[in-house]
Amino acid sequence: MQTHPANLKTLERQWHVIDADGLVLGRVATKAARLLMGKHRPTYTPSVLCGDAVVVVNCEKVHFSGKKWQQKEYTWFTGYTGLRSETAERRLSRHPDRILRDAVRRMLPKNKLAFKMLQRLKIYAGTDHPHQAQTPAKAELGTK
Helix count and strand count (H, E) for the chain: 5, 6
What is residue 82's three-state secondary structure? coil
pTM (two decimals): 0.90
In Å, how far are 7, 60, 62 from 73, measured between CA atoms? Answer: 40, 17, 16
The torsion angle over the Cα atoms of residues 38, 49, 104 and 97, rounded to 10 degrees, is -110
Of the chain, the percentage scoring pLDDT greater than 90 comes to 81
- Helices 25-37 and 96-107: crossing angle in degrees, nearest 10, is 50
Q: Note the pLDDT tens digit of each residue in 83-130.
A: 999 999 999 999 999 999 999 999 999 999 999 999 999 999 999 999
What pLDDT is recorded for position 8? 79
Q: Note the pLDDT tens digit of each residue in 20-48.
A: 999 999 999 999 999 999 999 888 889 89
